[in-house]
Amino acid sequence: MSFKLPELDYAYNALEPHIDARTMEIHHTKHHQAYVNKLNDAISGTSLEGKSLEDIMSNISSASAGVRNNGGGHFNHSLFWKVLSPNGGGEPEGELKDAINSAFGSFENFKDQFSNAAATRFGSGWAWLVKTNSGLVITSTPNQDNPLMDVAEVQGTPILGLDVWEHAYYLHYQNRRPDYINAFFNVINWKEVASRL
């Protein structure tokens, strides 16, 4: 029983021009693969072996730094690939649209606040849209932390995540993180996000 790198539902070049093929390939085959390998090494022979990723996240405060960094890395990237689509973009519909309007007033307000969370996360980390007991909330986390972790400032179920580590955009966007954030909105798979609500 060990964790495995998930396959993508689309080709590496499918998200161009918003996210380039080389970045996608390195991100998936090198970065994500490394998190999977190091997570498997970190839990091998421990009481965490055989547990689900969600179970591991919920008690991450008692785990090693290796499990926290690489378990978070595996969870976060697995979600990230799913909420991207070459047929993405636009705005959510139905229940998700209502939940976003209820929490943020409008889609434009949501986009501004999410983009701001992503742009102002200092150093490496993630921006999140999180389902909590009190509705949808925007937050960000450092490194490979996420809102499923019992150490997170805002805890809940992440339904949308954006990787703002430099490895996610530097080849194409260099220091222009805001341009990458803007491009991300053209490839968000809102149907997938809605299915996680």
Smallest distance, Mn ion to C-beta of residue 180, A: 12
Smallest distance, Mn ion to C-beta of residue 45, A: 27
Considering the complex, state which of residue 100 and residue 121 has its C-beta at the smaller distance from Mn ion.
Answer: 121
Considering the complex, state which of residue 165 and residue 190 has its C-beta at the smaller distance from Mn ion.
Answer: 165
Question: What does 46-65 look like in DSSP terms, one character per residue?
Answer: STTTT--HHHHHHTGGGS-H
Taking alpha carbons only, the member of 9, 32, 38, 12 closest to residue 23 is 12
Smallest distance, Mn ion to C-beta of residue 100, A: 25
Considering the complex, state which of residue 145 and residue 163 has its C-beta at the smaller distance from Mn ion.
Answer: 163
Cis peptide before 147 (omega within 30 of 0): no
Tokens of 125: 């980390």
For tokens 């993180």, the residue is 177
Tokens of 122: 């200092």
Residues that bind Mn ion (CB under 5 A): 163, 165, 168
Considering the complex, state which of residue 92 and residue 147 has its C-beta at the smaller distance from Mn ion.
Answer: 147
Considering the complex, state which of residue 110 and residue 165 has its C-beta at the smaller distance from Mn ion.
Answer: 165
Cβ-proximal residue to Mn ion, closest one: 163
Smallest distance, Mn ion to C-beta of residue 167, A: 5
155 contact partners, CB below 8 Å, separation of at least 6 = 130, 132, 147, 148, 149
Smallest distance, Mn ion to C-beta of residue 32, A: 7
Tokens of 81: 């690939």
